[in-house]
Structure 1
Amino acid sequence: MGLPFVIATLARRGLLAPGAPVRVAAQLNALRRWGFSLAGELRQAAARDPRRIAVVDEHGTGTSYATLLDRSERLARGLRSGFGVRGGDRVGVLCRNHAGLIETMVATTLLGADAVLVNTGLSAGQLVTVAEEQRLRVLVHDDEFADRSLGLPAGVQRIDERGHADLVAGATSGTLVPPARGGRTIVLTSGTTGTPKGARRPTPNGFGPLVSIIDRIPLRVHDRVLIAAPLFHTWGYAALQVSFALRATIVLHRRFDPATMVDALAAQRCDALFAVPVMLQRLLEVPPPQPRPPLRVVAVSGSALPGAVSGAFMDSYGDVLYNLYGSTEVSWASIATPADLRAHPTTAGRPPHGTRVAVVDEAGRPVPPGRVGRILVGNEMLFDGYTSGAGRERHDGLLDTGDLGRLDTDGRLFVDGRADDMIVSGGENVFPSEVEDLLARLPQVREVAVIGVPDDGYGQRLAAFVSLHPGETLDPEAVREYVRHHLARFSVPRDVTFVAALPRNATGKVVTRELRRLLD
């Protein structure tokens, strides 16, 4: 990534605006000493804008950047003196979105320890497995998860919300210096099919990753950003990193509620919203705020964005929607702008600056536009491997995403689904996502999931699970006839099951194993 492009982008987004020389010097020194870790980004923000509100959560009054840094440092010293946390240790974090979660992540980084971000939807048994596999020294958790953490191995120390507050209040004095080994963030994969794996996230080594995102998504310094995506998820964590870099005011809610979020967007005068696609579907079910909040950016990621949802959302909130396609392993691959989504509602967009995307066949050879193949991605934020020691297949410096898709002649990427989701029915390749996108256009349908199931005659077949809007009716044969009219016969789902709601995990992804149980 060329220096002129980096400078131009930073200037365009307000990051090179003049400031008090002493504060600018302190800001640059913080980045020089602490790097671009979460701790380094918070330090640079506190040095440049100490009194600016960093976080507004359910407590309402807001925490300044200076106070957030002070509390994080106090917590770090408390973890070190009270629990023996040192560089290289692993600290589990089981919290919903609030300022205390951010303090814990920063405190862990300040000590050179690894923060293991635990999905709040894990069962007690999965939590035990994660604690053992990740070798947790401490688990910091919200009070609501106290019962779930009772069965942890004896060596794992637990810190609840009162314990967190006591550590901050009673922290010993002392200075913190940059650790010899930088702490890492370990993000757990979604775990829709079993126990999630730990993926080691790299620490940015410069402005490149930030520039790649804000060049395409027009976020600016001092924006007010509501992060609805869970902070333990790659997308929510990325939103936090970007917000710190921009010295933004971050608005958080522990739980997602569409009516509450609509009110918060208006009351907090939010410029940007980070969410997962299912949240947009829920927002469309409540009246939009009047007057419309000053949103310039609504950025989504984490699962497929139905084409019908993208159009309907922009009709209600304006052309402010940006869809980032990526994963825990590759960070980002492509970004669709509002113009992309208006032209092609199901596109994942184009690779941002500094990112390479290739679609290849089984032998790793590029395929022509329009042909489906494996999606490979290269950028400077590819993950460092799983904590188990396993990795992902690579070709020519590009990482295999595990997804299948195609590029059009204009370089736009279209994702057809996971490679292991594609089924072969009677010798034909069938992508469940194509049928999902079609059924989502039916006005009666609130949400839909389509999966492959075994079939004695054809090897596999499709099964559709449909949730309807209140008061709407639809019968299985009408669903099948609609698909039959628009797609090939092998795409018609033989099984059509109506459900009150789709089972989803804490990041909004559909839990397919729960759907399969409905057919047993």
Structure 2
Amino acid sequence: MVTEVVETTVDMPIPLDRIWDALNDPATYARMFRGIGDCRPVVSAGERLDLEFRIGTLRTGVRRVEVRLIPGRPYRDLELYCPTLGSLASVRLGARPECTHVAVTVFAPGRVHPMVPELPNSAVSEWIRAGLQRVAEYCTGARTAVVKDGTGAPVRRQVVVARQMLSSGVVQAHRLDHGVRQLAGLAKWGLSLAGGYATASGCTPSRACLIDDRAHRTFAELHKRTNAQARALLALGIDHHHTVGLLSRNHIATVEAMVAAGKAGVDLILLNAGLSGRQLEEIAQRDRISVLLLDAELGHLVRYLHPGIQRFTIDGDPPTPERTTLEELSALSPGTCRRPARPGRLIVLTFGTSGTPKGARRPHPAGLDPVAAVLSRIPLRMHETMLIASPLFHTWGLGILQLSTALRATVVLQRRFDAEACLRAVAEHRVRTLVLVPTLLQRILELPPHVRARYDTSSLEIVACGGAPLPGGTALHFMNAFGDVLYNVYGSTEVSWATIATPQDLRESPETVGRPPAGTTVAVLGPNMLPVPVGAVGRIFVGNPMLFDGYVNAAPPDEVGGLLDTGDLGYLDVSHRLFVAGRGDELVISGGEKFFPRPVEEALEHLPQVREAAVVGVPDADFGQRMAAFVVKTEGSGLDAQMVRDYIRNRLGRFAVPRDVSFIPALPRGETGKILKRLLIMPNSGASQAM
């Protein structure tokens, strides 16, 4: 059993000043000492820094511990003091030839965590030494920030994939012959929507595959209808020589149009219903769209497109003299038609922080690796019911739709998201998996408790969130309300998935985006395109079987050793969890100091008076840039700009204080929930304002 005093000494071949700087940085402890999931500044006053450590695991219990970081004599000693627990770690440094001597004395270590009292002193000492070793690696620039899923060689990876397919039920062990046919069929078709639904139709033809607010389809019905629609397109001469645009909301006909285009060998651009008419015109001209499939209610967005573009409505509205429906065409389609040489590809528009969206070609996976990857971190099941609230024109919603075909899941769709209607659908259809973006999750949380209580959501076992950053406070709030069912997926249109955070990850470290799933490699690289140390911030690169096939009309992102640049900056911690610091173009450089807006945003979002916040860098005549905060207040809040500045100064320090604070009714967001920060940057607007 651990004693009241534990002493540890280490000689580190690192200059004393480097060790001193690292140990005085609060981020060091959460990033490099295992078991500390988070380190959040609470008060910054003079030489004293009060922090809140998140310590422990979901299994042993997670507790928040107040820690006071107290520097003593410069380059000589410092203390980590827990005033509420009466525990203290004293760190003393001494310069020696070619090394720095570090002596650590811990008083009352058993009070910090319930598991520690049962450990021997040697275990506590080893934990300290391991953390200091990672500090040394950080100081020497060791290339440690690379995480692979660990499946190793291709043969071993395929064994892991097969095992995952058997355990999830995608391949059925009790009917080996049937399971082999399933595996061969899926491998032949890949996970394209056309192949996925065709395979599912052969296995479970009478099972419901899609439900929306107007109709439902079985797998057999969808397969038959999309065959007819594909023949109709080909009969009109619409084939692989054409580019077709799809402008619609989430409903059955949207999925049918995707599948039909794939069967016809047509490349289909998924257009965002939130784009302006001018943006749609630019995309149509740039990508040479010759045919448009659309919802009738969105016709006003394309009324100025070139009249030579053929238009067909898909949403079930009756035909008019000016408008032909895809339903009409499919009824007149020929009985047979040639099969295209290849299935059509889906082109997803990227929704970056600036400029016109680029078209990214989504690949058709050759095997079941993508299914195994997601299932290795999210326990989806065969024949379950899932509600996809995320837009299907975005990679996140589309990817789950593709995955649903392998699981032969019943997918519920809603044309427009309404938080209460979503909970009603969960209760009515006994939905097990809810797929959404952080903005929609926040809308559910904003429902009054008595409204949420009207609906039985006990069937929910998985709430998968992706497509945009998920604030750590929002993650904890949601799990406190709905249980430990939340999974946070980080990725992009270009790399598909990168990491997945489980409920355990989010409880232990709410800001993390998780660990890479099976078959995935994540690396954090420096300016020299080599890995940085664990804990150091660099560019996030990802490799997996679903990297995109390139942009339609733009140069691809940087690639290093089969890994693609995500455009984000971040770091890996000692537990191989990834954290996103921000976009590379969001880095603010003010007076030579570099910092990211995200910590300021996270601090503001912890205030009950703040509904949401965004921080950006704006031009400054004296310092090059300064930070500006845009805050959406909760209703009835009396928060003002000076209160915001005082709060940030007290919590994060002077350097993080935004000089400009603007209160606005809502943050501008795209259809996927990402904040469009380019619309917040207002050069030459120096005065703070309150609205």
Tell me the residue number matched to 1:513: 678
Indicate whether 1:207 and 2:368 are aligned. Answer: yes
Give the aligned residue type for 2:390: A
Residue of structure 1 aligned with 2:326, choices 159, 164, 178:
164
Question: Which secondary structure does the structure 2 equivalent of 1:85 belong to?
Answer: coil
Give the aligned residue type for 2:430: R
Aligned-residue offset at 1:472: 2.2
Residues 518/51 of structure 1: CA separation in 2 closer, same or farther (3 Å cut): farther
Tell me the residue number matched to 1:116: 269
Residue of structure 2 aligned with 1:74, choices 228, 243, 266:
228
Tell me how far apart the structure 2 counterparts of residues 469 and 165 of structure 1 sit (CA, whole Å). Answer: 47
Q: Is the 8 A contact 1:110 1:176 kept in 2?
A: no
Q: After TM superposition, list the pairs within 5 Å mapping 1:174-185 onto structure 2.
A: 174-175=336-337, 177=339, 179-185=340-346
Q: Is the 8 A contact 2:172 2:179 kept in 1?
A: no
Residues 23/90 of structure 1: CA separation in 2 closer, same or farther (3 Å cut): farther
Residue of structure 2 aligned with 1:402, choices 563, 567, 577:
567
Compute the TM-score of the two structures, normalised by the length of structure 1: 0.96
Tell me the residue number matched to 1:298: 463
Question: Which secondary structure does the structure 1 equivalent of 2:478 belong to?
Answer: helix
State the Cα deviation string for residues 74-110 of structure 1 (Å, max 9, x = none): 111111223x211242111111000111011111110
State the Cα deviation string for residues 238-269 of structure 1 (Å, max 9, x = none): 01011111000000001111111111111111
Give the aligned residue type for 2:229: L
Structure having the higher strand fraction is 2
Q: Is the 8 A contact 2:268 2:346 kept in 1?
A: yes
Identical positions, percent: 48
Aligned-residue offset at 1:20: 8.0
Question: Which secondary structure does the structure 1 equivalent of 2:489 belong to?
Answer: strand
Question: Which secondary structure does the structure 2 equivalent of 1:127 belong to?
Answer: helix
Residue of structure 2 aligned with 1:455, choices 610, 616, 620:
620
Question: Which secondary structure does the structure 2 equivalent of 1:47 belong to?
Answer: helix
Tell me the residue number matched to 2:210: 55
Q: Is the 8 A contact 1:98 1:252 kept in 2?
A: yes
Residue of structure 1 aligned with 2:197, choices 42, 50, 54:
42
Residue of structure 2 aligned with 1:219, choices 380, 388, 413:
380
Question: Which secondary structure does the structure 1 equivalent of 2:376 belong to?
Answer: helix
Tell me the residue number matched to 2:158: 3
Q: After TM superposition, list the pairs within 5 Å mapping 1:115-514 onto structure 2.
A: 115-161=268-314, 162=319, 163-175=325-337, 177=339, 179-286=340-447, 287=449, 288-289=452-453, 290-514=455-679
Give the aligned residue type for 2:389: A
Tell me how far apart the structure 2 counterparts of residues 51 and 454 of structure 1 sit (CA, whole Å). Answer: 61
Tell me the residue number matched to 2:244: 91
Moved more, 8-17 or 432-441: 8-17
Question: Which secondary structure does the structure 1 equivalent of 2:497 belong to?
Answer: strand
Question: Which secondary structure does the structure 2 equivalent of 1:265 belong to?
Answer: helix
Tell me how far apart the structure 2 counterparts of residues 395 and 54 of structure 1 sit (CA, whole Å). Answer: 40
Residues 513/69 of structure 1: CA separation in 2 closer, same or farther (3 Å cut): same
Compute the TM-score of the two structures, normalised by the length of structure 2: 0.72
Q: Is the 8 A contact 1:27 1:45 kept in 2?
A: no
Aligned-residue offset at 1:3: 2.4
Q: Is the 8 A contact 2:438 2:468 kept in 1?
A: yes
Tell me how far apart the structure 2 counterparts of residues 28 and 371 of structure 1 sit (CA, whole Å). Answer: 42
State the Cα deviation string for residues 199-251 of structure 1 (Å, max 9, x = none): 11111110001110111111011110100000000001001011111000000
Tell me how far apart the structure 2 counterparts of residues 227 and 265 of structure 1 sit (CA, whole Å). Answer: 11
Tell me how far apart the structure 2 counterparts of residues 311 and 176 of structure 1 sit (CA, whole Å). Answer: 54
Give the aligned residue type for 1:275: L
Tell me how far apart the structure 2 counterparts of residues 482 and 491 of structure 1 sit (CA, whole Å). Answer: 10
Tell me how far apart the structure 2 counterparts of residues 19 and 283 of structure 1 sit (CA, whole Å). Answer: 41
Tell me how far apart the structure 1 counterparts of residues 566 and 437 of structure 2 sit (CA, whole Å). Answer: 19
Give the aligned residue type for 2:565: D
- Structure of higher CA gyration radius: 2
Q: Is the 8 A contact 2:618 2:683 kept in 1?
A: no
Residues 218/29 of structure 1: CA separation in 2 closer, same or farther (3 Å cut): closer
Aligned-residue offset at 1:410: 1.0
Residues 99/19 of structure 1: CA separation in 2 closer, same or farther (3 Å cut): farther
Question: Which secondary structure does the structure 1 equivalent of 2:673 belong to?
Answer: coil
State the Cα deviation string for residues 411-464 of structure 1 (Å, max 9, x = none): 110000100011101111111111111111101111111111111111111111
Tell me how far apart the structure 1 counterparts of residues 546 and 180 of structure 2 sit (CA, whole Å). Answer: 27
Give the aligned residue type for 2:551: Y
State the Cα deviation string for residues 256-305 of structure 1 (Å, max 9, x = none): 11111111111111000111111111110113344333111111111110
Question: Which secondary structure does the structure 1 equivalent of 2:308 belong to?
Answer: coil
Tell me how far apart the structure 2 counterparts of residues 180 and 413 of structure 1 sit (CA, whole Å). Answer: 41
Give the aligned residue type for 2:437: V
Aligned-residue offset at 1:164: 2.1
Q: Is the 8 A contact 2:212 2:414 kept in 1?
A: yes
Residues paired across the two proteins, number: 517
State the Cα deviation string for residues 171-197 of structure 1 (Å, max 9, x = none): 2211563x2133211100115422110
Moved more, 363-372 or 186-195: 186-195
Give the aligned residue type for 1:76: A
Question: Which secondary structure does the structure 1 equivalent of 2:586 belong to?
Answer: coil
Aligned-residue offset at 1:34: 3.4
Give the aligned residue type for 1:64: T
Q: Is the 8 A contact 2:188 2:366 kept in 1?
A: no
Q: Is the 8 A contact 1:91 1:138 kept in 2?
A: yes
Gaps of 5+ in 1: none
Tell me how far apart the structure 1 counterparts of residues 295 and 304 of structure 2 sit (CA, whole Å). Answer: 16
Tell me how far apart the structure 2 counterparts of residues 262 and 324 of structure 1 sit (CA, whole Å). Answer: 21
State the Cα deviation string for residues 137-159 of structure 1 (Å, max 9, x = none): 21101112111111212332111
Aligned-residue offset at 1:21: 9.1
Q: Is the 8 A contact 1:39 1:109 kept in 2?
A: yes
| Aligned-residue RMSD, C-alpha | 1.9
Aligned-residue offset at 1:515: 1.9
Gaps of 5+ in 2: 1-153, 320-324, 686-691
Tell me how far apart the structure 2 counterparts of residues 418 and 21 of structure 1 sit (CA, whole Å). Answer: 47
Tell me how far apart the structure 2 counterparts of residues 225 and 517 of structure 1 sit (CA, whole Å). Answer: 42
